[in-house]
Structure 1
Amino acid sequence: MSSLPLVTVICLCYNHERFLAEALDSVLAQTYQNVEVIVVDDSSTDGSVKIIQSYLQQYPHIRFVSTGKNVGNCAAFNMGLQASKGEFIIDFATDDVLLPERIAQQVEAFGKLDKSYGVVYTDAAYITDASEFLYLHSQKYEPAPDGDVFAEVLRRYFICPPTMMVRRQVFEDLGGYDATLAYEDFDFWVRSSRKYKYYYLDKVTTKRRVHEQALSRGLYKPGNKMLASTVVVCRKAAALVQSENERQALAQRLKYETRHAFLTCNFKEAGELIELLKSTTGLPVLYRFISLLNEYKINLGFLRKLYHKVRY
């Protein structure tokens, strides 16, 4: 029996036929010697299952879970988590790629930390559909913090989700992901960072693929369920805030989400965010104006398009 901690990689697949082999090969190529591999297919409609079956024949140690019907990322992950045994867990979408030393480096980092640390996250390389390098996560986002990151999680985006390795106890404390939500990362960061510390390992361990089918691409499209989930998470965060710094951090997040919701004509969610901002810090003059425009459903989406055209 290995003396190394068992690490479970939960490989989540939904219509990843084009990327699946590269993703699974990267898990199997890990230098770390005690890895449990669980592939969860969320009822793919392409050729993904056929590819998975070929890997199961070649690598009998891989465990396979089929959701039976499309249930979404959060519920699919929870099914994999329930089947897992690892002391540490990696949530791995099978359109991404792990670098060979990824697991070994993160387990080593955890070995130097006490149990108040629940998450080790790292830098990442963003790649195209064709696996061509685009940029590093660290080149685009401000320096990543360590320790108590709750306020920073509220304030801004800085964690590249597929780089996280999570102590199993964290998921057990949280009851896994909230399966009522359309996406998992913001809710996980808020709930886990309230109790556990985070550690940033300054290494590139993962290739994150950027493509049109990515879940995050639809966040601010009118009627998208992800924005409604963001409102729910912001409400959870408001109930967890314990200091003035955290309250101001939440207000910064609420202002950001309000602007984007309003300018993408998500008037319902914008109204909910405005009400939450009002109860958090009160409404600054600009947001009183936005509230009025939102009430009458004034479409100013061209301003957001103009901003992105000028900036990008």
Structure 2
Amino acid sequence: MITRISVLMGIYNCADTLPEALDSLYAQTYQGFKIILCDDASTDDTYKVAKNYADKYDNIVLIRNEKNLKLAATLNHCLEYVDTEYIARMDGDDISLPTRFEKEIEFLDNNPDFALVSCPMIHFDKTGDWGIGKAIEKPNKNHFKTAVPFAHAACMIRTDVMLAVGGYTVSNLLQRGQDYYLWYKIYKAGYKGFNLNEPLYKMRDDRDAIARRKFKNRFKGAVIRYRVLKGLNASSPLYYATLGAMKAFVPRILMERIRKKRMGINKNV
């Protein structure tokens, strides 16, 4: 089978979950892919686990950062080894459902006007599946006001588009928002994306994590949101940026309720 997809995986201290993540790729109904694994100077056995898989499968490219560079720079390192038509993302602690690649590549093949495709995600933790997110089918610039328009780890992007926008932007400000800023760059360049209505990806997710975000991360997020909305000429950028920053002062239990409402989380998955 022709290799048409490069799967970018920045891996860091995920030795316990990496086998399940990689096994989910080898269980895909579409097998025309290679995996580019970049270990971001892990301090556990992540590299050893990755090396065992690389020795077993000839479609794995394994590289390593000499020091911890964080996700954006690590993914850019992976990009140096891409030579395929499409790029897919995957995290080392998540699971791709079996038909993910088949359905995403079919969409991009049949819809040349779209630069990327993603989908809703199933959220799970050690107790099992606990929620399903929602996704807007055809996000526009106004959807950047209150949410990230695409699930990053579940996406597939045309390689020429990723290269045209310069890959990921490396900045201390974007350590948690590199995906949001990537979507901004893609839309700013005149491209657009699509969300399938079927969850094809499972994200390992502590259900209380959003309520524990620190104020400095909220502040950074507000700065990024302001810049993005201003760059897209969306209305009221300062208002929506300030609204995001104010979430740092919202009680934890209320934040969880807001999250469930915004994402359409269903507790009884």
Q: 1:189 aligns with which of 167, 180, 183?
A: 183
Q: 1:118 aligns with which of 115, 119, 142?
A: 115
Counterpart in 2 of 1:155?
A: 146
CA shift for structure 1 position 154: 2.5
Q: 2:235 — aligned with what?
A: 247
Q: Which secondary structure state, in structure 1, belongs to the residue aligned with residue 184 of structure 2?
A: helix
The separation in 2 between residues aligned to 1:41 and 1:117, in whole angstroms, is 31
Q: Counterpart in 2 of 1:203?
A: 198
The residue that corresponds to 1:233 in the other structure is 224
Q: Is the 8 A contact 2:137 2:197 kept in 1?
A: no
Counterpart in 2 of 1:75?
73
Q: Is the 8 A contact 1:77 1:91 kept in 2?
A: no
**Equivalent-residue separation in structure 1 for 2:207 and 2:13 (angstroms):** 13
Number of the residue aligned with 1:134 = 130
Question: Could you list the runs of 5+ residues in structure 1 that have no partner in the other structure?
Answer: 264-302
**Aligned-pair distance for 1:230?**
2.3
The normalised TM-score by structure 2 is: 0.85
How far residue 252 of structure 1 moved from its aligned partner, in angstroms, is 4.9
Q: Quick one: distance in 2 between partners of 1:94 and 1:306?
A: 29
Structure having the higher helix fraction is 1
Q: Which residue of 2 aligns with 1:15?
A: 13
Identity %: 22
How far apart in 2 are the matches of 1:309 and 1:108?
Answer: 35
AA matched with 1:144: I
In the aligned structure 1, how far is the partner of 2:30 from the partner of 2:211? 33
Deviation string, structure 1 residues 8-61 (Cα, Å, up to 9, x no partner):
101221111111100011112222131011111101111111111111111132
Partner of 1:39: 37
Shift in CA distance, 308/227, structure 1 to aligned 2, threshold 3 Å: closer
Seen in structure 2, the aligned counterparts of structure 1 residues 308 and 260 have a Cα distance that, compared at 3 Å, is closer
CA distance in 1: counterparts of 2:99 and 2:254, whole angstroms: 40
Residues 39 and 65, structure 2, Cα contact 8 Å, conserved in 1 = yes
By how many angstroms is 1:157 displaced?
3.9
Residue type of the partner of 1:207?
K
Post-superposition CA distance 1:252-290 (Å, at most 9, x none): 5213223124x2xxxxxxxxxxxxxxxxxxxxxxxxxxx
Runs in 1 of length 4+ with deviation above 2 angstroms? 154-161, 211-214, 226-236, 250-253, 303-312
2:247 touches 2:255 (CA, 8 Å); kept in 1?
no
1:25-104 correspondence runs (5 A) = 25-104=23-102
Structure number, greater radius of gyration: 1
Q: 1:31 to 1:182 in 2, by over 3 A?
A: same
Please tell me whether residue 304 in structure 1 is matched to residue 251 in structure 2: yes
Contact 2:120 2:198 in 1 (8 A): yes
Give 1:266's aligned residue: none
Would you say the 8 A contact 2:30–2:101 is kept in 1? yes
**Aligned-residue offset at 1:190:** 1.7
Residue 240 of structure 1: CA displacement?
A: 1.7
Question: How many aligned residue pairs are there?
Answer: 255
User: Does the 8 Å contact 1:154/1:190 carry over to 2?
Assistant: no
d(CA) in 1 for partners of 2:165, 2:24: 29
CA 1:232–1:306: 2 relative to 1, 3 Å: closer
**Structure with more relative contact order (C-alpha pairs < 8 Å, separation 6 or more):** 2
Q: Are the aligned partners of 2:211 and 2:255 in contact in 1 as well (CA < 8 Å)?
A: no
